[in-house]
Amino acid sequence: MPPPIALTRISLHPLKTPRSASSSNSYLFIFAIIFSLYDTISTALCVNANGHEYELSTLLKWAIYNFGVAGLAGVKMGVTLVALATVYWIVANGIQLGRNGVKKFYGVYLGVILSNAYAGTSNISVILGNGSFYLLDLNAAQIALLLAFLPLLVILLVVLFFDIS
């Protein structure tokens, strides 16, 4: 008589990332969305106060011209949500892109949070009549872009020069 077959249970959805990484991913995703909403709402208020010429992005100017402030909010948050959902999915599923681990994608969250916090605050300053913030002869949009990409650039440089895995 053959030996009995041992049944094993296989999980259909194995947890690929540790619990702490999963909660960090969720919290950063939520914070990035909150700061994106802050920037979107403050931009909409600025456009209402100063006209659509205030917006520098050609795509957002087109959305404002054709669909009003609702178009601005829809396009701005739509693009942001697609990008953030992609990063969330990559981190949640532990997707390895070459040698780069998922923790390197936390720089995207940091860039979104910092740039939207800065741009939103600058928009509020414009609404209050104080004008846009300038630093080192850069306007608010240029500084927001710098803040958006600087964390990712720093992470990439660290990976290139200090990653020994």
Could you read off the pLDDT of 32-44 as tens digits, one per residue? 999 999 999 988 8
Parse the chain into domains and list their residue ranges. Answer: 20-162
Check: CB of residue 81 under 8 Å from CB of residue 4. no
pLDDT at 4 over 80: no
Q: Which H or E run includes 20?
A: helix 19-50
The percent of residues above 70 in pLDDT, for the chain, comes to 65
105/155 Cα distance (integer angstroms): 9
Q: Identify the three-state secondary structure at position 135.
A: strand
Question: Model-level pTM greater than 0.85?
Answer: no
Instruction: Tell me: pLDDT of 18 over 80.
Output: no
What is the identity of the amino acid at 97? L
**What is the C-alpha to C-alpha distance for residues 32 and 147, in angstroms, rounded to an integer?**
13
45, 40, 115, 46: which is closest to 74 by C-alpha? Answer: 40
